[in-house]
Amino acid sequence: MSETVIRAAVEPGDLGWVVMAHGELYAAEFGWGSEFEQLVAGIVADYAASHDPQYEAAWIAELDGERVGSIFCVRGPDDGTAKLRLLLLDPAARGHGLGAQLVDTCLAFARSAGYKRMVLWTTDRQVAAGQIYLARGFRLTGDELDERFADGVLSQYYELDLTD
């Protein structure tokens, strides 16, 4: 039986791993280049430089002691809004419920921090993640062609009321 753990992203190498894992996985699965890895690196750098632990957190999923996933909760565009960022799950770790556990952990933190709603950005290529979001009550609030990516990728925007 495999051992799964969701833990705070506080160990040396965790933040660097998040950038590397996103870059490698999205290149392999979707052919996305360094522009996407730069986007992820910017999000991680902002978090590392200025996160307030009362209102922002990050988690790492482990499978048998190895990092296999991540998720971040950061401040949104206003004080009542949290942003879910950087959900990732290595293909080898899929099927263990870790993606859902990561999202649930993030949502529980956002609620305990007093946020009233959560928003997120993803693309139409992250089908499994979209299913997790919808199963937790997120609603798709919009989509648009994203010219940063090839092949007609749609950016998607989701929102969840956390007061229910």
Q: Which domains does the chain have, with CATH numbers?
A: 4-161 (3.40.630.30)
End-to-end CA distance of the chain: 36
Which letter, b or e, does each residue of 10-39 get, where b requires 16 or more Cβ atoms within 10 Å of its Cβ? eeeebbebbbebbbeebeeebebeeebbeb
In the 8-state DSSP scheme, what is residue 96? S
pTM: 0.95
Helix (H, G, I), strand (E, B) or coil at 88: strand
- What is the residue-averaged pLDDT of the chain? 95
Task: Report d(CA 82, CA 31) in Å as an integer.
Answer: 30
**Residue count of the chain:** 164
Of the candidates 127, 115, 94, which has an alpha carbon nearest to the alpha carbon of residue 159? 115
Contact (CB, 8 A) for 26 and 68: no
Percent of the chain clearing pLDDT 90 (strictly above): 86
Of the candidates 72, 86, 75, which has an alpha carbon nearest to the alpha carbon of residue 25? 86
Segment 44-96, tens digit of pLDDT = 999 999 999 999 999 999 999 999 999 999 999 999 999 999 999 999 999 88
